[in-house]
Amino acid sequence: MASQDWFDKDFYATLGVSKDVSEADLKKTYRKLARQYHPDSNPGDAAAEARFKEISEAYAVLSDPEQRKEYDQIRAMGSGARFTAGGQGAGGFEDVFGGMFGGGGGGRTSYSYQQGGDYDDLLGGLFGGRGGFGTSTGGFRGYGGPQRGRDVTARTTIDFVTAVKGDTIKLQTSDGKPITVKIPAGVSDGQKIKLRGKGEPSPDGGESGDIVLTVSVRKHPVFERDGLNLRVTVPVTFVEATLGATIEVPTLGGAPVKLKVAPGTPSGRVLRVKGRGVETSKGKGDLLAVVQVAVPSHLSPAAREALEAFREAEPNENPRADLLAKAHE
């Protein structure tokens, strides 16, 4: 930066702070403005980019104690003063301030973005990484590297079998471009899948962003997920539950399996079929068959008569007696 620039530019006004602003308040103000005008937050906005450069220039000087002291001394000489670069009148600008900036005669000084310093640490905290301003690769045009493309969010709905077994599906982006997506076995409803490099391209040769795909899973008419297990409700008749039986239970995408219902099985009892649940790299679940005793809604006269005879013959027990007793404990 030419020394004359320090006469022309009021860095305190640029940041909207007073001349006696503390280091902590200076940093706080800068962070707020940098977040507001950063090019990553204002893509394609030339005015915002220019404002960001002004803010960065001002903070680069004022955040450095030595540069701030020199700047205050120069500004104290009188804002707006004009000096030539030497050889005219009683002495040039660089003759007067040469000692301040490391040598007279040539008289130019500059601020820079120091890698690894407090300036980069500050912006790294704001925009996701040390050493620059990019969202990932650490830079914006002219600030230390190419800008990473933006991430894109998307949603898709898949059927239950695809979610459990896994599959490769084809989707279409908003611009009509087809993409292939591998759905891993065992993906759950609401899970996010990151498609690396499938997002928006970088505006300046950096890496592309990602697509973050949220998966919705359609409900199945029979099965539901329980972690890696599959759960299915299996109706049995009163007679089957009372006397015992061998029944068929459906499996997902396979042939039914036979299960033995023990005599006296109540509603809610879970019968387990090993290894017939969800299979992923983390393990394999089971099929859980939940017994539900089905009550007939219509009885023939003969069935009713037989049931009434059974009621007369069954033990005189109240199945709710224990429940009632515990309720008063």
Alpha carbon distance 55, 13 (integer Å): 10
Q: What is the pLDDT of residue 83?
A: 39
Average pLDDT over residues 158-175: 89
Q: What is the pLDDT of residue 4?
A: 54
Average pLDDT over residues 160-168: 94
239 band by pLDDT with thresholds 50, 70 and 90: very high
197 and 253 co-located in one domain: no
The answer to whether position 210 is within a domain reads yes
Domain range for 231 is: 223-327
181 band by pLDDT with thresholds 50, 70 and 90: very high
The answer to whether position 43 is within a domain reads yes
The per-residue pLDDT for range 182-231, each reduced to its tens digit, is 999 999 999 999 999 888 888 888 889 999 999 999 999 999 999 999 99
Average pLDDT over residues 46-75: 86
227 and 212 co-located in one domain: no
305 band by pLDDT with thresholds 50, 70 and 90: very high
301 and 241 co-located in one domain: yes
The answer to whether position 123 is within a domain reads no
Asked if the model's pLDDT at residue 46 lies above 90, the reply is: no
Average pLDDT over residues 151-168: 93
HEC string of the chain? CEHHHHHHCCHHHHHCCCCCCCHHHHHHHHHHHHHHHCHHHCCCCHHHHHHHHHHHHHHHHHCCHHHHHHHHHHHHCCCCCCCCCCCCCCCCHHHHHCCCCCCCCCCECCCCCCCCCHHHHHHHHHHCCCCCCCCCCCCCCCCCCCCCCCCEEEEEEECHHHHHHCEEEEEECCCCCEEEEEECCCCCCCCEEEECCCCCCCCCCCCCCCEEEEEEECCCCCEEEECCEEEEEEEEEHHHHHHCEEEEEEECCEEEEEEEECCCCCCCCEEEECCCCCEECCEECCEEEEEEEECCCCCCHHHHHHHHHHHHHCCCCCCCHHHHHHHCC
95 and 28 co-located in one domain: yes
229 and 209 co-located in one domain: no
105 and 58 co-located in one domain: yes
Asked if the model's pLDDT at residue 136 lies above 70, the reply is: no
- pTM, entire model: 0.52
190 and 283 co-located in one domain: no
Q: What is the pLDDT of residue 188?
A: 93
Q: For residues 100 and 236, which has the higher predicted lDDT (pLDDT)?
A: 236
Of 217, 249, 270, the residue at which a domain comes to its end is 217
161 and 108 co-located in one domain: no
Asked if the model's pLDDT at residue 124 lies above 60, the reply is: no
CATH number reported for the structural domain that contains residue 65 in this entry: 1.10.287.110
Pick the range with the lowest mean pLDDT from 89-93, 118-122, 198-202, 318-322. 89-93
Of 60, 95, 112, the residue at which a domain comes to its end is 112
Q: What is the pLDDT of residue 103?
A: 41
